[in-house]
Amino acid sequence: MEREFFISSEIYASAHAVSEIIRDICEKIDERNFTVSEFCEGIDDIGVIVNCFPKNMMEAGWGKPRKYISYKNRSADIRLPIPYDDFIAADSDKKYLMVVKNIVVSLEVIEQRCNKSKRAAFDSKGMIKKFLDKLGVTVTELDGINGVEEI
């Protein structure tokens, strides 16, 4: 991977706002220069893909969640779905926070996986703090925000 931290989306057309929000987030955090090495030991790059598909498409196989860490390749690939109906019905501020929350939960998943395997170490709290600081979003703002579809 060219960058240490990569954020993207896989979405249904009517959820195009996810892509717009991710572009804004990537710009604010300076994604190309956002380093993860200060928070990781054993992982050199992280990919977070935000998925947003209607339930019937998810049931057909689109937007499947993925929580994959390759310790051999020293990379993480996390893909978690945002609740589609809630996202479509939300106002623009809540949509933004839902995407941010999805990314935060993805980073927490990496730490959980690393702690379980003990083959890598990851300080999700430190990285989340840096990430949120760059966005100007507080942890309190994310309280009560559902950014990940129950699977």
Whether residue 21 is contained in a domain is answered as yes
Number of structural domains found in the chain: 1
Whether residue 102 is contained in a domain is answered as yes
Domain that holds residue 100: 5-142
The span from the CA of 76 to the CA of 67, in Å, is: 8
pLDDT tens for each residue of 79-120:
999 999 999 999 999 999 999 999 999 999 999 999 999 999
pTM of the model: 0.95
Helix (H, G, I), strand (E, B) or coil at 40: strand
Whether residue 100 is contained in a domain is answered as yes
Residue with tokens 């057309």: 13
* 145 touches 97 (CB < 8 A): yes
Q: Residue 7, Cα to own-chain centre: how many angstroms?
A: 7
Whether residue 149 is contained in a domain is answered as no
Token reading at 88: 């479509």
Give the pLDDT of residue 12: 95
Give the pLDDT of residue 149: 87
Q: Residue 84, Cα to own-chain centre: how many angstroms?
A: 15
pLDDT tens for each residue of 119-133:
999 999 999 999 999
Whether residue 151 is contained in a domain is answered as no
